[in-house]
Amino acid sequence: MFRIWPPCRLAVQRYVGIGGLDKSLHISIIVVMPRKPNNSRQTRTLLAAFLERSRTWRHGYDLSKETGLSSGTLYPLLMRLSEQGLLEERWQQAERHGLPPRHVYRLTASGLALAREQELAAIAAERAGALA
């Protein structure tokens, strides 16, 4: 018996020959490396919005209105940042009866550190541009 450690996935494929007889069995281990946070304008904008109220749970719709990011950009970013451990996520029950629960997000400690780091880098870049 083998033990596969996360973030690995086990892939098993059977190759079937003529007449339905097994010809071979191929087992491979696929290592899945988590993506590094990108430094896109959209990611920086989203992290800056979270940084303004870092301990507050935020709804995607409110973040979309605040940042101007479309849902097709915002929600994949939220999922990616959550998978990278930069955001906490949970379901929040609706305040009014009959409405569905909403997904809410807030920065983790590592997300807060990254957001502050990006804010400082932006300030430094702005000052460097002003001095040039």
**With a threshold of 0.85, does the pTM exceed it?**
no
pLDDT at 108 over 60: yes
pLDDT at 85 over 90: yes
More confident residue, 104 or 1: 104
> Residues 83, 34: contact at Cβ < 8 Å?
yes
In the chain, % of residues over pLDDT 70: 71
Q: Which CATH class is domain 41-131?
A: mainly alpha
- 84 three-state secondary structure: coil
Q: Which residues pair with 104 in a beta bridge?
A: 59, 90
pLDDT at position 1 is: 47
pLDDT, one tens digit per residue, over 27-50 is 555 555 555 667 889 999 999 999
